Amino acid sequence: MRKLLLSIVAASMTLAACNAQSGYKVTGTVEGMPDGKAIIATVNGSSLDTLAKADVKNGSFEFTGNVSEPTGAYIMVIGQRGAIPFMLENANITVNAGQAGLTVTGSEGQKIYDQFMAINATAQQEAMKLQQEYQAANGDQAKIQAIQEAYAKLMTDAQAKETELIKANPDSYVSTFVIVSGMGQMEYEQLKERYNLLGEKAKASAQGKAIAAQIAKLESTAIGQIAPNFTITTPEGESISLYDIKGKVKLIDFWASWCGPCRGENPHVVEIYKEYHPKGLEIFGVSLDNNKEAWVKAIADDGLVWKHGSDLKGWQSAPAQLYSVSGIPHTVLLDENNKIIAKNLRGDELKQKIAELLK
């Protein structure tokens, strides 16, 4: 159940609506925030752009500046973990956080965002209950199947409610902010569907353009596309490319030695390989490890006898970035012509699809 609802990822995010004033003033107090230098930053791809700086004393801060349009931003103390996400706009914004929760005042847009949060608060509570049930299932496959089906329905229902809210507010920066906040967890079709709900004004915004750019990136590895080739290094130090591997059906398996769910899935993948390799299945294991010894040991310990490669760059792995991998295990199923047939299948679903293709 690693795929999170996009707004759950952004569950603590808050915002303030734009008004006609020429700049912003963000003041507030956060209990427990250490003294030091704080910044307001926005995410630009994989990096942060600093927009403003301020001193934090006794948890209080005040930022001033100007933005050309509303944008998702974060307050954080330099050198400290954690961040407070919010919508930065040219308005007087007050941010207060403590044991009672996080509040942002001075915003009409907050009313819209609160509706997103109401949907997700309920979904998050139910998801936590299902997670506890999943952990208590102790391998009972019937219970696990029922829990997985309940989780899928929970996510589908919550996403449907979000979709209706976006439809009702197509040009709201709240809608674009929510989509941007969760698009790293979304596949091509889902993200494109959300983007198409936006109005032209929202699409023309910086966040709208960021969504469009992500869609273009995902499109190159969407189902039905020819999988882009890549070359990495084997444990033996040789170069190997995706197209070097020949088979009637090919599975790219993104994993890592440190990934618990990956290691838990490996025995099932081994069984699939033993049964279907004689019929034409090939697997290419692409590791997001950065420790070669741990990677090689995991291959041996788990009995992964197929081809492997890694550039040992962890989450900065070039193949993982090429395929927009945001969580592992992540699988990509190809036909003999390297056409992408399916993505992110695991367990029985993966076995059934391979059996269908090699019958």
- The per-residue pLDDT for 49 is 87
- In the CATH hierarchy, which fold is given to the domain comprising 231-357? Glutaredoxin (3.40.30)
- The token duo for 54 is 């301020």
CB 15 within 8 A of CB 86: yes
CB 211 within 8 A of CB 179: yes
Listed residue (222, 120, 103, 92) closest to 178, CA to CA = 120
Q: Spell out the domain ranges in the chain.
A: 18-105, 109-219, 231-357
CA dist 116 and 326 (Å) reads 23
CA dist 65 and 93 (Å) reads 12
Per-residue exposure over 253-283, b if at least 16 CB sit within 10 Å of its own CB, e if not: bbbbbbbeebbebbeebbebbeebeeeebbb
* DSSP assignment string, 102-127: EEEES-SHHHHHHHHHHHHHHHHHHH
Phi and psi at 101, nearest 5°, equal 115, -165
- The per-residue pLDDT for 21 is 61
Listed residue (124, 85, 95, 116) closest to 26, CA to CA = 95
* Amino acid letter, 216: A
Neighbours of 111 (CB within 10 A): 10
- The per-residue pLDDT for 46 is 58
Q: Is 293 exposed, middle or buried (0-12, 13-18, 19+ CB in 10 A)?
A: exposed
CB 238 within 8 A of CB 327: no
- The token duo for 190 is 């889902």
3-class state of residue 281 by DSSP: strand
Listed residue (225, 242, 228) closest to 283, CA to CA = 242
* DSSP assignment string, 25-78: EEEEEETTPPSEEEEEEEEETTEEEEEEEEEEBTTEEEEEE--SS-EEEEEEET
- The per-residue pLDDT for 258 is 96
Segment (H or E) for 177: helix 173-182
| pLDDT profile of the chain (359 residues), mean per 10 | 37 38 87 89 76 93 90 83 82 85 75 83 90 84 84 90 94 87 85 95 90 91 95 96 96 96 93 96 97 97 97 95 92 96 91 93
- The per-residue pLDDT for 340 is 97
Listed residue (118, 33, 44) closest to 83, CA to CA = 33
Domain 18-105 architecture: Sandwich (2.60)
CA dist 4 and 134 (Å) reads 16
CA dist 60 and 47 (Å) reads 26
- The per-residue pLDDT for 11 is 36
* DSSP assignment string, 112-168: HHHHHHHHHHHHHHHHHHHHHHHHHTTT-HHHHHHHHHHHHHHHHHHHHHHHHHHHH
CA dist 264 and 160 (Å) reads 31
CA dist 180 and 205 (Å) reads 12
- The per-residue pLDDT for 3 is 40
Neighbours of 236 (CB within 10 A): 8
